[in-house]
Chain A
Amino acid sequence: MVTKHRTIKNLLFALLILAIVLFAVFPFLQMVSTSLKYSWDWGNPSLVPLKLNWESYGELLGIGQDIKDLPESVQILLEETPDLTREQKEAIIAKYRDTGDVFPFGKYFLNSLLFSSSSALISLVIAILGAYSFSRMEYKGRRVIQRGVLFVYMFGGILLLIPLYKVSVALGLAGTQGGTVLSVLIIYVVQTLPVCLYMLGNYFRTIPFSIEEAAFIEGLNHFQTIWKIILPLSISAIATVYIYAFMIAWNEYLYASVFLKSYKDIYTLSIGLKSLFVSKNAIWDRIMAASMLTALPVVILFLLIQKHLTGGMTSGGVKE
């Protein structure tokens, strides 16, 4: 009796776990499935495509697109005119490729990558110095700063959006593309800085002070100590914080939508996807493929740091 009871209990438990996992991953399965389906297959409730369609991935990544977009007459022209040089041919092909309303995925991907990686790097450097300072040194106002970092969590993006945009316009930054890049970069730094400070501060406090004392006795100054002792000891925490900051910037939409609005060349993926897929009915496969490719870098990075990140998240080092 007891074993039978136990088996039923275990079975119910397994079902519960299965249901939770299914709830969590179903939208992702939906995404993969639809990205690989042909349009005649969309209405089919099964997640398994009847016939695999790699077309949308090819289109987004620009694989195998050179010839397809060209009108047939132009293709014939290219083939039958031997005295065209290679450059001339490529120029003609490029012209046709640009006129199509193909989603410039590569460009937006690169923009997102540049914004996220550089703002996370700046934020990280400032945060390493700051976190070292308030977790290791004694001075007046240290506690106020430490608590203040937590306090800024309460300010939502929308509260700061209007004044920051107004300032950016007043300074003339919002009027030019370069100024807009600068504004967005600085804003992403400040969005990630409190989290970085908080997470790194928590980590630095776990490094035994005696190691640093030994370094001071050896005659190293504070900068040398940070560079030669603290950084190597906390390299995994630093990588984690960097990736976390990167993810915040990569996922950001609100500020990008206001600041980058009139500069299509520097769109990030999040506003690129939103603006290009306003009418969705004809292009679900491409939307899903683009969603997959947008989520993928973040998911891969996350898997790399999962162990450290979940520790950092539970100790309160998060911002949304």
Chain B
Amino acid sequence: MKGTLQQQQARLGVRLIAPAVVIIGLLIVYPVFYNLFLSFHDVKLSGESSFVGLSNYAAVITDIEFWRAFLTTALYVFFTTLGTTLFGLVVALAMNRQFPGQGVVRSLLLLPYIAPVISVVFAWQFFFDPVNGIFMHLVVDQWGLYPERFNLIRSPRYALWVAIVFSVWKNFPFTYLMILSRLQAIDENLYEAAEIDGCTGIKKFFYITLPEIYFVLGSIVLMRIIWNMNKFEDIYLLTDNVKTLPVYTYFKAFTGALDMGQGSAISLIQFAILISFIILYVKKVLKW
């Protein structure tokens, strides 16, 4: 006999999960540690890498460009997360009511989230294009807010804000769906009881809706922070003037001097920041 039925089952279970575990282990877990190794080396793309200790890290944190990227990332993550969550909440509250044509509206609202980044960035670039774009037509020719047309999406002053609005536009469908599914699970009796107690719309929102969706909001904020901090395509493809940490890493490691050792160091510093933030957040906000 090959052992009990349970043991047989366990063996089969392990065998079935093995391919997935091996692939994830080799291509996700191992690279993370290999990255750590690389960050202590002067990496040559072909040939031997030499051990340099902490000098990659030293070079990174004494570089003003790194701190600029750090600040940009902080602003980007803060405002995109805030914007996506708040706008998602407004849309979810609106979509929680029944109205004719809701099915079509639901489908249309998901388009930004599913369309390939590469195809939507061009539409955004055209919208802000100094020569042909509608935006400059409005703010310069129609409203006269600026004396002359300029390239908003490339200007150092505004590019970050365009990237933030773009991210809110692209990701609000996700937040709104998450919030909506939680809203629909709220017990109607709570609202009826509140009405009997004389609560109006705004009070109902603050005393019933908000506490009920607190945790879903908390998880959305956490997920958006993780994803927005790691975002690359949404920024890099839209504008070349916003350097968040992932974009900065990409430029360091794959353009110019191809400094992969420093690139590894930056991506690990970013990862460390993210992890410590998550731990703090989970303890303080989600109170797990």
Contacts and interface: CB of A to CB of B under 8 A. Distances in A.
Interface of A: 13-14, 16-17, 20-21, 23-28, 30-31, 34, 42-43, 45, 126-127, 129-130, 132-134, 136-140, 142, 145, 148-149, 152-164, 166-167, 169, 186-187, 189-190, 193-194, 197, 222, 247, 250-251, 253-254, 258, 269-270, 273-274, 277, 280-281, 284, 287-288, 290-292, 294-295, 298-299, 302-303, 306, 310, 313-314, 318, 320
Contacts of A163: 30-32, 34-35, 38, 264
B196 interface: no
Contacts of B59: none
Nearest to B216: A314
A11 B271 CA distance: 48
B118 A270 contact: yes
Interface of B: 6, 9-17, 19-21, 23-24, 27-28, 30-32, 34-35, 38, 43, 45-46, 90-91, 94, 97, 99, 105-112, 114-120, 122-127, 131-132, 134, 137-138, 169, 171, 173-174, 177-178, 180-181, 226-227, 229-233, 236-237, 246, 249-250, 253-254, 260, 263-264, 267-268, 270-271, 274-275, 278
A134 B31 contact: no
Contact of B126 (A158, A251, A288): A288
Contact of A194 (B24, B107, B250): B24
A130 B123 contact: no
Given A130-B20, A270-B118, 8 more contacts: A138-B10, A139-B13, A159-B31, A159-B270, A162-B267, A190-B23, A284-B126, A318-B174
B46 A169 contact: yes
B134 A247 contact: no
B13 A138 contact: yes
A45 B91 contact: no
Contacts of A148: 24
A124 B178 CA distance: 25
Contacts of A45: 134, 137-138
A24 B260 CA distance: 39
25 contacts: A13-B94, A45-B137, A45-B138, A133-B17, A137-B16, A138-B10, A139-B13, A154-B274, A154-B275, A156-B267, A157-B246, A160-B27, A162-B260, A190-B24, A193-B23, A250-B116, A253-B236, A254-B233, A254-B250, A269-B116, A270-B118, A273-B119, A281-B131, A291-B122, A313-B178
Contact of B178 (A25, A134, A292, A314): A314
Given A27-B124, A164-B27, A299-B114, A17 B94 contact: yes
Contact of A303 (B107, B231, B237): B107
Contacts of A157: 230, 232, 246
A145 B28 CA distance: 14
Contacts of A302: 110, 114
Given A23-B169, A164-B31, A166-B260, A292 B17 contact: no
A270 B233 CA distance: 10
A253 B17 CA distance: 29
A28 B232 contact: no
Given A162-B260, A299-B114, A320-B227, A292 B119 contact: yes
B249 A158 contact: yes
Contact of B10 (A24, A137, A152): A137
Contacts of B138: 45
B119 A129 contact: no
What 8 A-B pairs are tightest by C-beta distance, nearest first? A156-B230, A137-B13, A130-B20, A291-B119, A133-B16, A139-B10, A163-B31, A27-B123
Contact of A153 (B23, B46, B132, B226): B226
Contacts of B171: 320
Contacts of B10: 137-140
B109 A20 contact: yes
B233 to A, nearest CB: 5
Nearest to A294: B119
Contact of B115 (A156, A169, A284, A298): A298
A258 B254 contact: yes
A129 B20 contact: yes
A129 B94 contact: no
Contacts of A127: 20
Contacts of B180: 314
A299 B138 CA distance: 30
Contacts of A303: 107
Given A137-B9, A166-B43, A310 B110 contact: yes
